[in-house]
Amino acid sequence: MSPSSPELLAELRAALAPIRVLDSPFEKVLYARDASAVGYAPPGVVCLPLTTAEVQACVRIAAAHGRPVTPRGSGTGLAGGAVPLNDPVVIVTTKMNRLVEVDEDSRTAWVEPGLLNLDLSRQVAHLGLHYAPDPSSQQTCSIGGNVASNSGGPHCLLHGCTSAHVLAIEVVLADGSVCVLGGPEPDAPGYDLRGAFVGSEGTMGIATKILVRLMPNPPTIRTLLADFASIRDASAAVSAIIGAGILPAALEMMDANCIAAVENFAHAGLPLDAAAVLLVEVEGLAAGTEIAASEIVAQCRASGARAVRVAATVEERMLLWKARKSAFGAIANIKPNYYLHDCVVPRTKLVEVMEKVVDIVESRGLIVLNVFHAGDGNLHPLIVFDRREPGVEEKVQQAGKAIIEACVAAGGVLSGEHGIGLEKRDYMALVFSAVDLEHQQRLRDVFDPARRMNPEKVLPTGSWCGELHHVPEGAWI
């Protein structure tokens, strides 16, 4: 970390308020990383703006001092996207968290980027509405971070990821100007720049206001938990359910290691002796959900389920989801560090890839937890380890690379939802040709010709590779 120039600090403090521009050594440590273990870099200065105008001011001042900018929401990212590289001015959106206005008729709302995903749903609950994309981190992650990462969640199987729920975005660009991408009408003429921005991970600008789509709460919901003696059977059930023409709202799988870790926290009554469980949810009108639910029970039984439980109460349902959504957080019950992967494989290759993953990890003496969106083949193998064991980090790295290669070899793609960030940037060349990558860079340059927004992220540059996993001793990242 290098000290910021007194002029830069003075200008930022004059533009915001002195207490919202942080540069003390302890403050910098706090914004040095996100929820992943892929990078750690205490920034020179951290700004906490309240308004779009203040964001503009920060960006302009940074530009005048030749400094890049790294946007940050709640810091739950799992790809190192908010790690401040190249000594940027960090712009944190947590204080811009208002629900600005709700249009009940068109079921849309303008929100500020720092509004937490679950808070949004709670604040519109009295209107019978909710915001559909539900990442497992939804209680903490921000809508701005969701937009930047095009986040998904269990219920995106039916409703689509963030991109399908964002109509317009007000963006502060790298030169400090403001523009609005997209608009309230679903099919705006011209290029879909909104679509390009969603998932840009802070490299095209800072979202300062977002027009989201709200969904009516479904009249009925049925949640089922099916218990299997093998992952193979559980995977067969996934194919059978989808093959039967049912489109569940969510279809999630957890393996035995994962069940053990989350049950310890959530006490949801998960079967501790199961090799895998499927958590399936259907929603809609009462008659339809009943039929779908009984069809799911039948398909699970036919695929070898040992038991299928239907949540009897809202509390029971909430508890099952609490268990599922705490999976990443719960791993310290086994080991303190984790390396999470996020790749999508064709559903038909699910079993094959899963078995390979387990083999790759276990042959290196490591432990893997599998929890994933089975419905769309989005795998999240989590390798858990204790960084303090000698030599373990190297093994984790090797296993990680082997997993990614196995997924790509099976016709998969890199990221389902967590983004590329820093973590997978240097793997981009595995799936894109040089020409593809160049075009992506050109698109990014249209938004940010000076390449000042969130440098070193998403697109490979080669410059950071050597340092990718360099971590200060004892920093426990």
Partner 1 sequence: MSETLMRTVLGLDPDKLVACVSCGLCLPHCPTYRATEEESASPRGRIALMRAVEAGELAIDEDFVRFMERCVMCRGCETACPSAVQFGALMEQTRVTLGSQRRIGSRWMRLALKPLGHHRLLLVGSSALGVLQRLRMIPMSVQPRLGLPARIPIRRAPLGPLSDRPTDAWLYTGCVMDAWQRDVHNAALRVMAATGANVNVPDGQGACCGALHVHMGMGGDARRLAVRTMAAFPGDAPIVVDSAGCGAQLKDYGHLLGTEAARVFSARVRDVGEWLAPRMNTLRISKRFGSVVAIQDPCHLRHVQRAHLPWRIVLSAVADTAELDDDGRCCGAGGSYSITQPELAGSIRDTKVEAIRRTGAPIVASANPGCSMWLSGAGLDVRHPIQIVDEVLHGP
Ligand X SMILES: Cc1cc2nc3c(=O)[nH]c(=O)nc-3n(C[C@H](O)[C@H](O)[C@H](O)COP(=O)(O)OP(=O)(O)OC[C@H]3O[C@@H](n4cnc5c(N)ncnc54)[C@H](O)[C@@H]3O)c2cc1C
Residues found near ligand X in the complex (CB under 6 A): 34-35, 70-78, 81-82, 93, 113, 135-137, 141-142, 144-146, 148-149, 151-153, 201-202, 206-207, 328-329, 417-419, 421, 454
Between CA 274 and CA 255 the distance in angstroms is 8
Instruction: Identify the residue among 100, 348, 445, 476 touching partner 1 (CB under 8 A).
Output: 476
Q: Give the one entry of partner 1, ligand X, none that residue 94 binds, where binding means its C-beta sits below a cut-off of 5 to 8 angstroms depending on kind.
A: partner 1
Task: Give the one residue of 56, 76, 121, 370 binding partner 1; rule: CB under 8 A.
Answer: 76
29 makes contact with partner 1 (CB under 8 A) = yes
CA distance 64 to 44: 16
CA–CA dist 349, 429 (Å, integer): 23
Using CA atoms, how far residue 433 sits from 153, 197, 426, 443, in Å, is 29, 22, 13, 16
**Binders of partner 1 among 116-145, rule CB under 8 A?**
116, 118-119, 122, 137, 139-141
Residues recorded for the chain: 477
Nearer Cβ to partner 1, position 330 or 344?
Answer: 330
Q: Give the amino acid at 127.
A: L
Neighbours of 64 (CB within 10 A): 12
Q: Would you report the helix, strand and coil content of the chain in percent, each value rounded to 5?
A: 40, 20, 40
Stretch 436-475: interaction string toward partner 1, x if CB under 8 A: ------------------------------------xxxx
Give the containing element (helix H, strand E) for 58. Answer: helix 52-64
Cα torsion through 431, 433, 437, 443, rounded to 10? -100
**Nearest approach, Cβ of residue 316 and partner 1 (Å):** 15
Residue 25 interacting entry, from ligand X, partner 1, none, C-beta within 5 to 8 Å by type: partner 1
Beta bridge mates, 192:
none
Q: Which does 202 bind (CB under 5 to 8 A by kind): partner 1, ligand X, none?
A: ligand X
- Based on the shown chain and the rule CB under 8 A, indicate whether residue 477 belongs to the binding site for partner 1: yes
> Site residues for partner 1, window 328-387 (CB under 8 A)?
328-333, 336-338, 386-387
For ligand X, the closer of residues 248 and 421 by Cβ is 421
Residue 465 carries which DSSP code?
G
The option from ligand X, partner 1, none interacting with 81 (CB < 5 to 8 A, set by class) reads ligand X
The contact pattern for partner 1, residues 219-258, with x = CB under 8 A and - = no contact, is ----------------------------------------
CB 447, min distance to partner 1, A: 27
Q: From residue 85 to residue 104, what is the string marking binding to partner 1 with x (rule CB under 8 A)? A: ---------xx-x-------
The answer to whether 26 contacts partner 1 (rule: CB under 8 A) is yes
149 binds partner 1, rule: CB under 8 A: no
**Residue 191 interacts with, from ligand X, partner 1, none (CB under 5-8 Å by kind):** none
418 touches, from ligand X, partner 1, none (C-beta below 5 to 8 Å by class): ligand X
Q: Kindly tell me which of 258 and 300 has the beta carbon lying closer to ligand X.
A: 258
Rounded to whole angstroms, the Cα distance separating 52 from 169 reads: 12
Per partner kind, with CB cut-offs from 5 to 8 A, the member of partner 1, ligand X, none near residue 151 is ligand X
Q: Which residue shows structure tokens 């490299």?
A: 203
Residue 30 interacts, among ligand X, partner 1, none and using kind-specific CB cut-offs from 5 to 8 Å, with: partner 1
- 153, interface contact from partner 1, ligand X, none, CB < 5-8 Å by kind: ligand X
Shortest gap between Cβ of 328 and partner 1 (angstroms)?
A: 6
Report which of 105, 93, 134, 102 is spatially closest to residue 117, judged by C-alpha positions: 134
| C-alpha–C-alpha distance, residues 27 and 32, integer Å | 9
Residue 74 as a binder of partner 1 (CB under 8 A): the answer is yes
Are residues 232 and 285 in contact, defined by beta-carbon separation less than 8 angstroms? Answer: no
Closest contact distance (angstroms) between CB of 368 and partner 1 is 16
Work out which of 39, 49, 114, 133 binds partner 1, going by CB under 8 A: 114
Find the shortest distance in angstroms from Cβ 90 to ligand X.
9
How does 302-318 read in b/e, with b if 16+ C-beta sit within 10 Å?
ebebeebbbbeeeebbe
Helix ranges, 366-427 (H): 392-409
Q: Which sign, positive or negative, has the C-alpha torsion 404, 333, 359, 320?
A: negative
Judge whether 194 and 222 are in contact, CB under 8 Å.
Answer: no
Contact status: 3 vs partner 1 (CB under 8 A): no
Please give the distance of CA 61 from its chain centroid, rounded to a whole number.
Answer: 30
Query: Whole-number minimum distance, CB 271 to partner 1, in Å?
Result: 19
> What DSSP assignment string belongs to 179-209?
EEEE-SSTT-SS--HHHHHTT-TTSS-EEEE
CB of 52 to partner 1, least distance (A): 17
Measured at the CA of 16, the angle between CA 14 and CA 19, to 5 degrees, comes to 95
Supply angle C-alpha 428, 430, 435, rounded to 5. 70
Where does this chain bind partner 1 (CB under 8 A)? 24-27, 29-31, 33-35, 48, 74-76, 94-95, 97, 114, 116, 118-119, 122, 137, 139-141, 262, 264-266, 326-333, 336-338, 386-388, 472-477
